[in-house]
Structure 1
């Protein structure tokens, strides 16, 4: 009986062990565990999908950023190209600096129309490294004085436009370089032009009424004095090397020159005008034969200088010149009749 019970237990154990299903070798999950495993895989898949979705959104953002950057670069490139084109245009304008002078022609020839016309031209030229500058001439309502800037080798050219004329007159030789300038020698009548070329200063005098350059001279000094109501100037003649300066009275109408003589020589001699005392004061340094140096000053009365050097009034000089011209014309007519 005891033996039979043991055999029965062994049979039951073997039978139970043979009927139980083993775990899957591929998944390691037993048949009863498949449901919970599917739930776990679904959650993982969802998490992975959410991750991929976020990465996709980030990729879209980056793509949009790249797109925006490309558009920005393209716009900047267009702007850069525009700047380069503008620079090339300005360069061409600079290269064409020696172009011919502009033409001025106008049908309305009253003063206001001429001035407005010049200002309109000026507004265009000023944007292209060129300009037109008006010179005030309150003393003469019959002319408009102006000069162009940036044309030709001479750079600045002076014009005179008479009211009633359809175009201005280009004044021959009335030009100056970039380094030159102009100033009134006598307001409304004479302009002193500094050509601005070289160490020796070339000066020109423009007679507004005659509409021409009436004199050209050279000097090393900017110190120039016009004796009132005359055509005589006190100037320093152009010098070279270490030579002493020579001061002279120069008549820009007749071309006559009269040297001022001093009892001392000084290469640093300078002068200034005292309009209150009516004197011209020279100052400098004098070195004697013993090499002793002295500071010296010379004061000269303007009226005495005018008398000593026979400086004549401008009107008197013009009358004399007119008489000479009339006499020469008479002589020519008499010779022609013969």
Structure 2
């Protein structure tokens, strides 16, 4: 019995020792407060963070390289466009030199200075004994004419800033013996015994009439006082293409002189072998009221008082 009890006690002690050994845990780290498995997770997280930082730096480097490549591409594209533009402009100038018919004008730089420079350079390489380009004005827009091209001796164009090519004005052409002159903000074209008026603002011919013996513009209007071939005094509105004859004896009155605020009609006649000189003075405001002449909505800016002869 005693031996049996000793054996039981020994088995119990051994079992207790085995259980105690199986339940033993390693102490937590004094530095991190974590066990070995948890510490391994922390190490892996730090490595991932380092890798992310490295990837971010590499991404920024790639983005920078792409931006540099994009800038280089844009620079090359711009350079190519400039070269193509210069080639097209050179071809255009060559066409102007070689053209027999009305040439085509075209440029890429469309500011007024570039347009004028283009026309001047084109003109400089033309044989001026045969052809030519004449710049009439270059204020708000460029007005110019070609000389010696096509079936007409001279053709007027209007080139607005911002446009790649000019507008050919239909009907604004004249022969070799023709001429042009400023009529306030309009251009009066004389050719073949006919007069026509170019409305620069609206880019069209607005009036066509027989060339008079004398003509003067009523200030701030689109009406001219003229003496026609029958010695009649006529008020002609070239915008509305209408005319009104002044009631004067054209057998006696043969001339007129338009002043700032009045018009003076003069003439001579013979009676009983005696020659008499006559004058009739009429205030301009009274004349305009009598014949219902309206002033322009905006007074035109006076252009240079010059005449160009072809």
The SS at the match of 2:106 is: coil
Q: CA deviation at 1:273?
A: 2.2
In structure 1, the residue matched to 2:160 is: 162
In structure 1, the residue matched to 2:190 is: 194
The SS at the match of 2:285 is: helix
Q: CA deviation at 1:130?
A: 1.2
Match of 2:289 among 307, 312, 315: 307
Q: CA deviation at 1:111?
A: 1.4
For the residues of structure 1 that align with 2:158 and 2:273, how far apart are their CA atoms?
55
Q: CA deviation at 1:292?
A: 3.9
| 1:235 has 2:233 as partner | no
Q: CA deviation at 1:211?
A: 0.4
Judged with a 3 Å threshold, the aligned counterparts in structure 2 of structure 1 residues 117 and 137 are, in CA distance, closer, same or farther, namely: closer
Q: CA deviation at 1:207?
A: 0.5
| 1:258 has 2:244 as partner | yes
Q: CA deviation at 1:124?
A: 1.4
Larger displacement relative to structure 2 (98-107 or 161-170): 98-107
For the residues of structure 2 that align with 1:265 and 1:306, how far apart are their CA atoms?
24
Match of 2:266 among 283, 307, 310: 283
The answer for unaligned runs of 5 or more in structure 1 is: 1-97, 240-244, 317-338
For the residues of structure 2 that align with 1:157 and 1:133, how far apart are their CA atoms?
10
The SS at the match of 1:178 is: coil
More helix by share: 1
For the residues of structure 2 that align with 1:99 and 1:173, how far apart are their CA atoms?
19
In structure 2, the residue matched to 1:217 is: 209
Question: Relative CO higher for 1 or 2, CA cutoff 8 Å, sep ≥ 6?
Answer: 2
Alignment deviations for residues 217-269 of structure 1 (CA, whole Å, 9 cap, x no partner): 11331x22211221111112233xxxxx0111111122221111124514x81
The SS at the match of 1:117 is: helix
Q: CA deviation at 1:126?
A: 4.1
Q: CA RMSD in A?
A: 2.1
Q: CA deviation at 1:279?
A: 1.8
The answer for unaligned runs of 5 or more in structure 2 is: 1-98, 299-310
For the residues of structure 2 that align with 1:236 and 1:156, how far apart are their CA atoms?
28
For the residues of structure 2 that align with 1:291 and 1:116, how far apart are their CA atoms?
66
The SS at the match of 1:271 is: strand
In structure 2, the residue matched to 1:150 is: 148
| 1:270 has 2:255 as partner | yes
Alignment deviations for residues 253-307 of structure 1 (CA, whole Å, 9 cap, x no partner): 22221111124514x81222233xx22122222234x454322222221111111
Normalised to the residue count of structure 2, the TM-score between the two structures is 0.60
Alignment deviations for residues 104-140 of structure 1 (CA, whole Å, 9 cap, x no partner): 11122221211111011101124442111111243x2
Counting matched residue pairs gives: 200
For the residues of structure 1 that align with 2:292 and 2:129, how far apart are their CA atoms?
51
Alignment deviations for residues 126-185 of structure 1 (CA, whole Å, 9 cap, x no partner): 4442111111243x2xx2110011223431110001111111111011112222111110
Normalised to the residue count of structure 1, the TM-score between the two structures is 0.55
